[in-house]
């Protein structure tokens, strides 16, 4: 088993981004795709991402060239036979992921670590299809992982403590910020993210504020506080007595809907999907889409430089 070889299964947005994460720190990285067209899209994404990283000073041109020399692409499943880690980034569908892992877990070395990159599917259920479920776990990265340091490591019911610790050490060794969480629905990120989104939509639905003003509160206030201190740190500095008083009356007035937000659902039904469709809460038509992506990446990089890099 090659101790420096990683296979990234999936050449889409997340797969292409993760390939850079591993290659930039020295791993031989193989990207496994299911079509030539998909692989070509992955190569283009990596090229564009590297241009931005070089421009922003996160990597030198020489360092980028060396890292890109460590990335290769293939359609052949033989690539899984000699690696120490597989990170799968295929479609977010439980049965498709289970089919993939049923086949691949029979090919990989017995002591290779296995991870699925999922936003919320049950790690325990996917592991049912795996040979050696004790070495299987989740890696939930935020898009784009080559810029954002967080990685949630999710332990399934059969994931061993030893293997979870090994994965955490590996991620830390790449200069990223791993956390470990049990296999609860939504893990940590999406439970908090959707609690915030539910209340943000509720505020707009009540006619209390606009999309822009809600986002300004998060960007110019709460986001900065949470980036610096986290939710518990913010409460500590605010005074737990104060937070307890607010807790006693405000929770009763917050949205506790157990269903998806109707406004959000109706927008999706009408084809408004956000940046990918050109419109949603904001207008991304024409050249605005590319400019929005460039602005997002620039802001992520500037913040990450200050806080983590």
> What's the token pair of residue 190?
């999406």
In this structure, what CATH number is given to the domain that contains residue 200? 1.10.1040.10
pTM for this predicted structure: 0.90
What was the pLDDT predicted at 287?
A: 83
For residues 119 and 258, membership in a common domain is answered with: no
Does the pLDDT value for residue 249 go beyond 70?
Answer: yes
Rounded to an integer, what distance in angstroms lies between the CA atom of residue 132 and that of residue 96? 19
- As to burial, measured by CB atoms within 10 angstroms (0-12 exposed, 13-18 middle, 19+ buried), residue 239 is exposed
List, for residues 166-199, the tens digit of each pLDDT value.
Answer: 999 999 999 999 999 999 999 999 999 999 999 9
* pLDDT digits 0-9 by tens, 4-57: 999 999 999 999 999 999 999 999 999 999 999 999 999 999 998 999 899 989
Task: Let me know whether 258 and 292 are in one domain.
Answer: yes
Q: How confident is the model at residue 1 (pLDDT cuts 50, 70, 90)?
A: low
- Are residue 93 and residue 154 in the same domain, yes or no? yes
Domain boundary among 128, 147, 182: 182
Residues 100 and 196 in one domain: no
pLDDT band, residue 282 (cuts 50/70/90): confident
Of the candidates 113, 148, 182, which is a domain's last residue?
182
In this prediction, residue 305 carries a pLDDT of 87
What is the per-residue pLDDT for 275?
83
Are 269 and 195 part of one and the same domain? yes
Co-location of 170 and 209 in the same domain: no
Answer whether residue 117 shows pLDDT above 80: yes
For position 11, which CATH number holds? 3.40.50.720
Number of domain units in the chain: 2
232 and 214 share a domain? yes
Residues 209 and 203 sit within 8 Å (Cβ to Cβ): yes
**Rounded mean pLDDT of the chain?**
94
pLDDT digits 0-9 by tens, 76-113 = 999 999 999 999 999 999 999 999 999 999 999 999 99
Whether residues 133 and 33 share a domain: the answer is yes
218 band by pLDDT with thresholds 50, 70 and 90: very high
Residue range of the domain that includes 269: 189-307
Same domain, 135 and 232: no
Asked if 121 and 240 sit in the same domain, the reply is no
User: Which of 130, 161, 182 marks a domain boundary?
Assistant: 182
Same domain, 229 and 273: yes
* Average pLDDT rounded to a whole number, residues 216-232: 94
pLDDT tier for residue 60 given thresholds of 50, 70 and 90: very high
One domain, residues 155 and 229: no
Which of 100-104, 210-214, 302-306 is predicted with the least confidence, judged by mean pLDDT? Answer: 302-306
């Amino acid at each position: 088993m090659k101790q420096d070889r990683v296979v990234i299964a999936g050449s889409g947005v997340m797969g292409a981004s993760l390939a850079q994460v591993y290659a930039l720190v020295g791993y031989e990285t193989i990207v496994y795709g299911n079509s030539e067209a998909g692989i070509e899209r992955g190569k283009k994404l990596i090229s564009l991402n590297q241009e931005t990283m070089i421009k922003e000073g996160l990597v030198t041109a020489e360092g980028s060239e060396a890292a890109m020399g460590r990335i290769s692409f293939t359609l052949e499943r033989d690539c899984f036979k000699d690696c120490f880690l597989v990170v799968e980034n295929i479609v977010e569908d439980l049965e498709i992921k289970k089919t993939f892992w049923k086949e691949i877990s029979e090919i990989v070395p017995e002591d290779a670590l296995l991870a699925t990159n999922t936003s919320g599917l049950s790690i325990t259920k996917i592991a049912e299809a795996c040979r050696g479920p004790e070495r299987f776990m989740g890696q939930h990265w935020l898009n784009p992982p080559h810029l954002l340091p967080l990685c949630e490591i999710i332990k399934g019911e059969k994931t061993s403590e030893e293997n979870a610790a090994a994965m955490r050490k590996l991620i830390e060794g790449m200069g990223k910020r791993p956390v470990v969480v049990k296999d609860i629905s939504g893990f940590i990120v999406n439970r908090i993210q959707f609690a915030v989104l539910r209340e943000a939509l509720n505020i707009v639905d009540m006619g209390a504020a606009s999309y822009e003003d809600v986002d300004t509160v998060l960007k110019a206030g709460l986001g900065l506080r949470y980036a610096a201190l986290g939710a518990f740190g913010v409460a500590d500095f605010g005074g737990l007595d104060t937070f307890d008083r607010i807790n006693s009356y405000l929770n009763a007035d917050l949205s506790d809907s157990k269903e998806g937000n109707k406004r959000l659902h109706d927008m999706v039904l009408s084809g408004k999907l956000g940046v990918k469709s050109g419109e949603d809460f904001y207008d991304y038509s024409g050249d605005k889409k590319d400019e929005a992506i460039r602005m997002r990446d620039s802001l992520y990089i500037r913040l990450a430089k200050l806080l983590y890099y």
